[in-house]
Structure 1
Amino acid sequence: MNPNHDAATPPEASDRGQILPALVLSMLAFSMVQTAVVPILPALATAVHVSGGTVAWLMTANLLAAAVLTPLLGRFGDLYGRKPMLLVSLGGLVLGSVLAVTTESFTWLVVARVLQGAGGGVLPLAISVVRNQLPPRKIPGGIGAVSAAMGIGSALGLVVTGLLMEQWSYKSVFWAGLLVSLVAIAWCVVGVPKDQGSDQAAKVDPLGALTLAGWLCALLLAVSKGNAWGWGSGRIVGLFIAAVVIAAVWVVIEMNVQHPLVSIRMLVSPVVAVTNVAGAVIGFGMYGCFMVISNFAQTPEKIAHYGFSANVLHAGVMLLPSAIGSMTAAPVGAKLVASRGPRIPLSLGGLLAAVAMAFLAVLNGHPVDLYLASAVFGFGVGLAYTAMPAAINSAVPIEQSGIANGMNAVFRTVGGAVGTAVLGSVLAGDTIEGLPLPTLGAYQEAFWITAVGCFVAAVAPLAIRTPVNSGKPVAQQSDPTEETVV
């Protein structure tokens, strides 16, 4: 029996062809639903009669739910089986979408976005399914396709929103999310085989889960609301303090229970820790890039003397090359991982993303500049997203695959929240006199900050020592404790 597979009976070869398309579509569904509401927040505020600051809770609620539920669903997949938890994750996406298309209430829209946050569990669960069900030679490509689908879906979500808003109301965006989610869950029911969980299925760590949720909520709420509430306000400072205290309690709990939700030893191991750092800064860059480029493109050129006066659709199209770049990068990254290990594509991805943002800081006067930078940035992010799960899987046994990749997804989410908050603060802090528009210098500073963040993702992996044959899962290596510089 392949040591990389658990006790589940591998599917027949004729059935395996359904697994990867179902998982990729599931990842696309979540990432599209997550980002699709960004361009329509002003329209939503008007439709449900709330302020611009209040409507931002539709993103905050989804962000919090995804950050908390992603590692939990990943770990429950390790314990109880990946397919059941995958269906739970997609079920949240479907239920949230149903609620969103049937309500006119802002409160229920927030609830809908919380339910949709359960879709974040798709990433670690899909990676675990690929690792568990596909033959070894197809694992790098499968992981690359699933991981790249997150970046592809995020960019496509913006484009689809623009297309739909040209013809219909904001409800059409939620209908589109519901349709894709229904197809994804149906395909997973048919195409993803059942698997067995760990023999530790009865050992749950409720205190670990509660404290993990506590410090993540406090941290992300502080980061997401810092600009609105004031970084020095009592609420924000109190949330940061609460996050630190609860995180410390969480570490103590996880180090002292027999079956922790998250192994702290695994989390601080060099390969996993550095990959999570890279994930955080890549998340910082990706979400920050989408926000800054979209805002820059929509700036009225005649008033600000920069920007392109783009509508929502045009701004989304300018980010479409990012999706194409990520799609192209997935097979390239998979080949690099298989032949050279994950460190090279991870570093190269960060470097390309940094170059793209540095390019925009210098050249941004023509739409072609944005198209070109978007394509290069997407290719870099696609390489990095392909390499990160491979790096983590090379360092953890399969029974920890779900939680390890779930925590990496959390770090990406935290990085994305920090990125949008920091870059939003930069843009808000330097505006054209008499106008609520950032100066060109503010945008250039935002591009440089993003470039520096992505460069950190390029440099960090160079310092780690990874297991021999680092493109392979740790269970396939003859001596996982032996290390070398790849």
Structure 2
Amino acid sequence: MNPNHDAAAPPEAPGRTQILPALVLSMLAFSMVQTAVVPILPALAAAMRVSGGTVAWLMTANLLAAAVLTPLLGRFGDLYGRKPMLLVSLGGLVLGSVLAVTTESFAWLVVARVLQGAGGGVLPLAISVMRGQLPPQRVPGGIAAVSAAMGIGSALGLVLTGLLMEQWSHKSVFWAGLLLSLVAIAWSWAGIPRDRTTDHAARVDALGALTLAGWLCALLLAVSKGNAWGWGSGRIVGLFAAAVVIAAVWVVVELRVRDPLVSIRMLVSPVVAITNLAGAVIGFGMYGCFMVISNFAQTPEEVAHYGFSADVLLAGVMLLPSAIGSMTAAPVGAKLIAARGPRIPLSLGGLLAGLAMGFLAVLNGHPVCLYLASGVFGFGVGLAYTAMPAAINSAVPVEQSGIANGMNAVFRTVGGAVGTAVLGATLASDTIEGLPLPTLDAYQEAFWITAIGCFVAAVAPLAIRIPVSPANPGNPAAQQSGPTEKTVA
């Protein structure tokens, strides 16, 4: 089947005007809920009487659940309907938030974060909904808005947490996530029509799902806990070995079953593979940037002779320009994609993000430096996040849109986990004598590592050629006819 031969999207109708707002809000809800707990981990550790290493499971559990459930929900959406699976994804976000609000138990709070991880399915499902239900000319802009909402929500979540913690306890953060999730699921239920077509004939690849979940869990657990358990410890080495073995079994399974959960041939196609590589290093940069800038801003200047002695709120505000940058990048990226295809904004996004981090490695002595770098970095990440789904969609048929974009989200998550671990180890490896604070050199090294990762994301897209359709260059896969011979320069 020609991957650029989608089913015709219906013409715009009054009943479809709520699709995009509902999807953008859903993406905002998940990204805010996912990151909002980061600044309050120390407060949660104190309130629940657990150690710093133990409280980190609130992020690890969410990360694992999102990585496993995102591709599964994306694929089930391809098979059984995008709207039902979107509601399931948001339902997990709502249930997890309800549990987080009501429980006083740390163990149940971990369960709540696992349930919230189901919200990761929003991104691939939202892209599939737009490809199937919006007119082709509106798809690139819609994907740009939803993709940008991920970066915007992450940054706003940090700011919102700071504001709420100034007035109330950590419970207020969970209440905010619950209210936003309820609005998102209600809007999606009322504003998104049912899918017209689904592939009920395809079989559920249960073994593929289990092996995918197995190697992802082993890999992400090893990466997330490497600093705490020791990279050379038996547990970490065993987890990495298990990830390799189970991944090999997964590949064999997917190559042999009639209806694979993930098409390996799709994954290794040049456009998809290189876009996923770019997604991994952009994820590395984004999560690493948020962690390093926040920690740097909160460093007590009078003790370390660098940093700005910021509280949680001010540290979040310093990342607010990244949200504004991502918001600004969405329409710019959509126009670039419409004019030249997704390769240029994907490469330009990585370049700008890398320059922002390189700038911070050299100039970081004034808060203005952080505000400026944060804004440029957010704009670059927004461009890249806008372009990645367009690149993926140009190479896969609409019936594989959910799983293809779901796997791209997985690669971003893996990249983010690696980035957090690598940069955390970098900061911990060089501390001020007698103090548990990284040196300024350690922070500069972390900034440079992040910059190099983003530069890789800028160079990688140059190796691919993405076909551009003259009727709808921003989303060639949404066309009835195949692509022309013209390619992006």
User: TM-score range with shorter-chain normalisation?
Assistant: over 0.9
C-alpha distance in structure 2 between counterparts of 1:287 and 1:303, whole Å: 26
Deviation digits for residues 413-440 of structure 1 (CA, Å, limit 9, x no counterpart): 0000000000000000000000000000
Stretches of structure 1 that go unaligned for 5 or more consecutive residues are none
Q: Secondary structure at the match of 2:111?
A: helix
Residue 101 of structure 1 corresponds to which residue in structure 2? Answer: 101
Q: Indicate the SS of the match to 2:218.
A: helix
Equivalent residue, structure 1, for 2:232: 232
**Structure 2 unmatched ranges of 5 or more:** none
Change (3 A) 1:482 1:99: same
Q: Which residue of 2 aligns with 1:440?
A: 440
CA distance in 1, matches of 2:455, 2:480: 31
Matches within 5 A, 1:229-378: 229-378=229-378
Instruction: Tell me, yes or no, if the aligned pair for 2:476 and 2:483 is still in contact at 8 Å.
Output: no
Q: What is the aligned partner in structure 2 of residue 476 from structure 1? A: 479
Corresponding position of 1:173: 173
Is 1:13–2:13 an aligned residue pair? yes
Q: Is the 8 A contact 1:80 1:196 kept in 2?
A: no
- Secondary structure (helix, strand or coil) at the match of 1:467 reads coil
Instruction: Map 1:86-125 onto structure 2 (within 5 A).
Output: 86-125=86-125
Q: Hey, what does 1:467 align to over in structure 2?
A: 467
1:386 is matched with which residue?
Answer: 386
Moved more, 230-239 or 126-135: 126-135
- Distance, in Å, in 2 between the alignment partners of 1:332 and 1:131 is 20
Shift of 1:467: 2.2
Task: Quote the offset at 1:131 in angstroms.
Answer: 1.1
Q: Which residue of 2 aligns with 1:190?
A: 190
Contact 1:294 1:315 in 2 (8 A): yes
Q: Structure 1 residues 330, 264: CA separation in 2 closer, same or farther (over 3 Å shift)?
A: same
> What amino acid maps onto 1:68 in structure 2?
V
Q: Paired residues, what number?
A: 483
Query: 2:458 and 2:91 mapped to 1: Cα distance?
Result: 36
Rounded Cα–Cα distance in structure 1 between residues aligned with 2:329 and 2:5: 25
Q: Are 2:427 and 2:442, in contact at CA under 8 Å, matched by a contact in 1?
A: yes
State the Cα distance separating 1:480 from its structure 2 match.
5.1
Tell me the C-alpha RMSD between the 2 structures. Answer: 1.4
Alignment partners' CA distance in 2, 1:398 and 1:224: 34
CA contact (8 A) 1:359 1:373 kept: yes
C-alpha separation in 2, matches of 1:201 and 1:292 = 48
Q: Verify the 8 A CA contact 2:202 2:259 in the aligned structure 1.
A: no
CA contact (8 A) 1:148 1:326 kept: yes
Asked if the contact 2:61–2:114 (Cα under 8 Å) also holds between the matched residues in 1, the reply is: yes
Report the residue type matching 1:264 in the other structure: I
Alpha-carbon deviation of 1:10? 3.6
SS in 1 for 2:198: coil
Superposition TM-score, scaled by structure 2 size: 0.97
Q: Distance in 2 between matches of 1:411 and 1:17?
A: 31
| Per-residue deviation, 1:197 | 4.4
CA contact (8 A) 1:94 1:182 kept: yes
Q: What amino acid is the match of 1:471?
A: G
Report the Cα offset of residue 198 of structure 1: 3.1
Could you tell me how far apart the structure 1 residues matched to 2:200 and 2:244 are?
Answer: 30
Give how far 1:475 is off: 4.9
1:420-476, Cα deviation, whole Å (9 max, x unpaired)? 000000000000000000000000000000000000000000011222436323252
> Residue 222 of structure 2 aligns with which residue?
222
CA distance in 2 between counterparts of 1:44 and 1:91 reads 24
CA distance in 2, matches of 1:197, 1:14: 20
Shift of the 262–197 alpha-carbon distance from structure 1 to 2, 3 Å rule, reads farther
Indicate if the aligned counterparts of 2:131 and 2:478 stay in contact, CA closer than 8 A.
Answer: no
The offset of 1:13, in angstroms, is 1.8
